[in-house]
Structure 1
Amino acid sequence: MHIKKMYKEMFMIIDTCQAMSLFEGVEAPNLFLMGTSVNGQSAYSYQYDAELNQDLNDRFSFFFLYQFLRNIYREKFTASTKMSDLFSLFPFLTLESNLAVKNNHNSRLISDVYLKEYIPLPKSNLIAKQIKEYDLDEVPSYSDFLAN
């Protein structure tokens, strides 16, 4: 893709067991590669439906969406949120695995990369107002999720 100039920069997230092992041979430039588990480490599902006999979602996917929606509502995810801030939002206690990044970018560190460059964040409070209609305060607290 780089040789054919199909991208300028790319941010990729892999949420699976030993996710960082998938990036070992990747040497293309200008990539930010995030894995939800390091080599030799499992990534875990979060919710289970006994009736379906099926895991419903992965821990990172669940908590990312949960944190993203709650923090937009509370205006904690802003235009100044950086990629490096994800580490404080998703510690080992939350994911039960280690979030890691491989940076193949020639000139940028993850502490220089704003999340809004890859994930759309609201430019106004319009989205926050729409999210407020769902009354996220009725959603169980983050610590309630961690207790499960």
Structure 2
Amino acid sequence: MAFTNLMLVFIFNLLYLSLSSGIEIPEEFQKSNHTNNWAVLVDTSRFWFNYRHVANVLSIYRSVKRLGIPDSQIILMISDDMACNPRNPRPATIFNSAHEQINVYGDDVEVDYRGYEVSVENFIRLLTGRVPPDTPRSKQLLTDEGSNILIYLTGHGGDGFLKFQDSEEVTSQELADALEQMWQKKRYNEIFFIIDTCQASSMYEKFYSPNILATASSLVGEDSLSHHVDSAIGVYIIDRYTYYVLEFLENVHPNSKRTMSEFLAVCPKSACLSTVGVRKDLFNRDPSKVPITDFFGSVRPVILTTDPINIVETPKRKKKTENKTKVQVKRDYVPQFPMHLVQVT
């Protein structure tokens, strides 16, 4: 009899909590292991005529920082030979638009691998975690099984390979095996792989590890083209696919409702002049239901509870008298493109 009464009390309390709190935890939230976001951004080329590639990667770097991924969780690999190149008419600057709206090589750029450190060996070691024991934390991908990783690559490539510094190549099979090692060692939850190069889709064809969503700027047999020249600098300054990606990202904010399916359709052939490739058979979720901030933003820890929380009252502080003549400056990221070129949604 006592046991029956106890069960009735338990059921009554459970029903009371569910009705009174009104909290409904989404099924996707309960099942998610996603706890943190990282980005690996790599420009695999060097030399002045490849100016656009470093502009590509620095623009993506700036976008993910604006959306909340801290520098401590971004690995940036560039040759770093453009800003101070003697042919650069504007020393210490890199622009991604002929309007020169913003210098993407700003004061807050933290380069982790530069010059000849940008090699196939270092890239594969970074992904798999097989770095020397004396490697600084800033040069390590300290991910775990709860990490969503954005991998962005740009440079020169061909059918099944990506060139590094015009001296070596990483093959699609080597890259696929590195990602499999990451999965076996529980170094990621999900990966979003982006590559902007010629015949780019060949680099994800060999992938066989789960939870990977991939997109590429061109299919096998196609070139990935540049967007426009800055006549003051004398070279192409951004690639076509990355230009439209940035135009899309400028309309994304940390609380955006934009989805990955919208991102995957960002550059139709009429704009890119090449066919954007997408591979989603390894990805377990519907991209139309995946927020873009699952890869391009930060993850804020949230605890859902129905238990009462005791909040200790704190003494009210006296308001400081402010000088009304003082103008407060609002600090924010400057748009990467001129505002008349970006449609705000």
Q: TM-score, normalised by structure 2?
A: 0.33
**Would you tell me which structure has more strand in proportion to its own residues?**
2
| Cα separation, 2, equivalents of 1:84 and 1:32 | 11
Note the C-alpha offset of 1:17: 1.0
Instruction: Tell me what 2:275 maps to.
Output: 98
- Out of 2, 11, 31, the residue aligned to residue 192 of structure 2 is 11
Aligned partners of 1:28 and 1:104 also within 8 Å: no
Please, which of 263, 270, 287 is the counterpart of residue 86 of structure 1? 263
1:109-140 per-residue CA deviation (whole Å, 9 max, x = no partner) reads 3223221100128xxxxxxx935x76x7x545
Q: Which residue type is aligned with residue 284 of structure 2?
A: S
CA deviation string 1:32-85 (max 9, x = no partner): 01111111111111122456543211112122212321x24xx7x963211111
Matched residue SS, 2:183: coil
Higher RCO (CA 8 Å, separation ≥ 6 residues): 1
Q: How does 1:94-133 map to 2 (within 5 A)?
A: 94-105=271-282, 107-120=284-297, 130=332
Identity, in percent, stands at 26
Checking the alignment, whether the CA contact within 8 Å between 1:27 and 1:104 is kept in structure 2 is: no
Q: Which stretches in structure 1 are left out of the alignment for 5+ residues?
A: 122-128, 143-148
Q: Secondary structure at the match of 1:2?
A: helix
* CA shift in 2, pair 1:25/1:88, >3 Å: closer
C-alpha distance in structure 1 between counterparts of 2:339 and 2:242, whole Å: 17
Compute the RMSD of aligned alpha carbons: 3.0
Runs of at least 4 residues of structure 1 off by over 4 A?
50-53
Q: Distance in 2 between matches of 1:20 and 1:89?
A: 16
**Residues in 1 aligned to 2:290 and 2:263: alpha-carbon distance in whole angstroms:** 11
1:8-47 Cα shifts (integer Å, max 9, x gaps): 1100100111111111111111100111111111111112
Paired positions, count: 131
Larger Rg: 2
- More helix per residue: 1 or 2? 1
Aligned pair in 2 of structure 1 residues 50, 112: CA closer, same or farther (>3 Å)?
same
Deviation at 1:105, TM superposition (A): 3.2
